[in-house]
Amino acid sequence: MVSSPAIICDSSSLISFAETCNIEAFYFLKDFLHARFFVPPRVRSESVTDPLKIKKYEFSAVRLNKLLEDNVVSLISVPNLARDTVRVMDLANNSFFIGGKPLKLIQSGEAECLAVIIGAKMDAFLIDEKTTRLLIENPRKLEEQLRLEYSRPVFTKEENISAFRALFSKVKVIRSTELLAVAAKNGFFAPFKENESHALHSALYSLKTAGCSITERELTHYFSIRV
Amino acid sequence: MPFLDALTSLRGAFERSNIDELKALGGSIAEEAFLGEDRDLVDLGVIGFSLAKLLQKRYIVGSPRWKAFFSETIRKLDLAAQSVKAEQEDAARELIASILLEVEEVSSSLGRFHVSVVAKARTKIATDLYAHGASLGQACELTGAEKRFVSQYIGLTKISDKYETLSVAERFHNALELFSNNGA
**What confidence category does residue B64 fall into, taking pLDDT thresholds of 50, 70 and 90?**
very high
Distances (CA, A) of B124 to A117, B35, B131: 32, 17, 11
| Predicted local confidence at residue B161, as pLDDT | 79
Cβ separation of A103 and B133 shorter than 8 Å? yes
Q: How far is A108 from chain B (nearest CA, A)?
A: 8
Interface probe with A: pick from B149, B178, B180, most Cβ of A within 10 Å: B178
CATH number at residue A27: 3.40.50.1010
| Predicted local confidence at residue A106, as pLDDT | 97
pLDDT exceeds 80 at position A153: yes
| Predicted local confidence at residue B162, as pLDDT | 79
Q: Is the Cβ of B155 closer than 8 Å to some Cβ of chain A?
A: yes
Point out the residue among A110, A213, A218 whose CB comes nearest to the CB of B137: A110
pLDDT exceeds 90 at position B144: yes
Whole-number Å distance between alpha carbons of A112 and A89: 9
- Give me the residues of B, 112-141, that contact A with CB < 8 A: 130-138, 141
* Sheet of strand A124-126: strand arrangement: A73-75, A36-39, A6-9, A124-126, A172-174
| Predicted local confidence at residue A88, as pLDDT | 98
3-state secondary structure of B115: coil
With contacts defined as CB-CB under 8 Å, which chain B residues touch A181?
A: 172, 175
In a domain, A194, yes or no: no
Domain boundaries, chain B: 3-178
* Helical ranges in A34-175 per DSSP H: 41-44, 55-69, 81-92, 108-119, 130-137, 139-150, 158-167
Cβ separation of A129 and B35 shorter than 8 Å? no
**What confidence category does residue B29 fall into, taking pLDDT thresholds of 50, 70 and 90?**
confident
Q: Is the Cβ of B62 closer than 8 Å to some Cβ of chain A?
A: no
Rg (CA), chain B: 20
Number of domains in chain A: 1
Length of chain B: 184
Measure CA A89 to chain center.
17
pLDDT exceeds 50 at position B105: yes
**Position A31: which residue type?**
D
ipTM: 0.93
* Helical ranges in B58-116 per DSSP H: 58-61, 66-85, 89-110
Closest chain B residue by Cα to residue A206: B155
Q: Dihedrals φ, ψ of B51, to 5°?
A: -65, -35
Beta strand A96-98 with A73-75 is unpaired
| Predicted local confidence at residue B182, as pLDDT | 43
- Report pLDDT digits (tens) over A18-54: 999 999 999 999 999 999 999 999 999 999 999 999 8
Structural domain including A131 reads: 1-176
CB atoms within 10 A of CB B79: 15
Length of chain A: 227
Torsion angle of the four alpha carbons B100, B3, A97, A125, in this order, in degrees rounded to the nearest 10: -10
In a domain, A5, yes or no: yes
Q: How far is B74 from chain A (nearest CA, A)?
A: 31
Q: How far is A78 from chain B (nearest CA, A)?
A: 21
Cα B53–Cα B159–Cα B21 angle in degrees, nearest 5: 30
In a domain, A55, yes or no: yes
| Predicted local confidence at residue A20, as pLDDT | 94
Residue pair A226/A197 in contact (Cβ under 8 Å)? The answer is yes
Cβ separation of A105 and B148 shorter than 8 Å? no
Residue A132 exposed, middle or buried by CB count within 10 Å (0-12, 13-18, 19+):
buried
Cβ-based contacts under 8 A for chains A and B: 167
Cα B104–Cα B4–Cα B142 angle in degrees, nearest 5: 55
| Predicted local confidence at residue B113, as pLDDT | 75
Whole-number Å distance between alpha carbons of B82 and B89: 10
Cβ separation of A101 and B35 shorter than 8 Å? yes
Q: How far is A137 from chain B (nearest CA, A)?
A: 7
CB atoms within 10 A of CB B133: 24
> Which residues does B25 contact at the CB level (< 8 Å), separation at least 6?
B6, B9, B10, B13, B45, B48
What's this model's pTM, rounded to 2 decimal places? 0.93
Whole-number Å distance between alpha carbons of B79 and A135: 43
| Predicted local confidence at residue B109, as pLDDT | 87
- Its sign, for the CA torsion B176, A137, A142, A132, is positive
Upper half-sphere CA count for residue A59 (Cβ side, 13 Å): 4
Cβ separation of A211 and B175 shorter than 8 Å? no
Cβ separation of B36 and A101 shorter than 8 Å? yes
With contacts defined as CB-CB under 8 Å, which chain B residues touch A15?
A: 147-148, 151
| Predicted local confidence at residue B181, as pLDDT | 58
**What confidence category does residue B150 fall into, taking pLDDT thresholds of 50, 70 and 90?**
very high
Q: At A6, which helix (H) or strand (E)?
A: strand A6-9
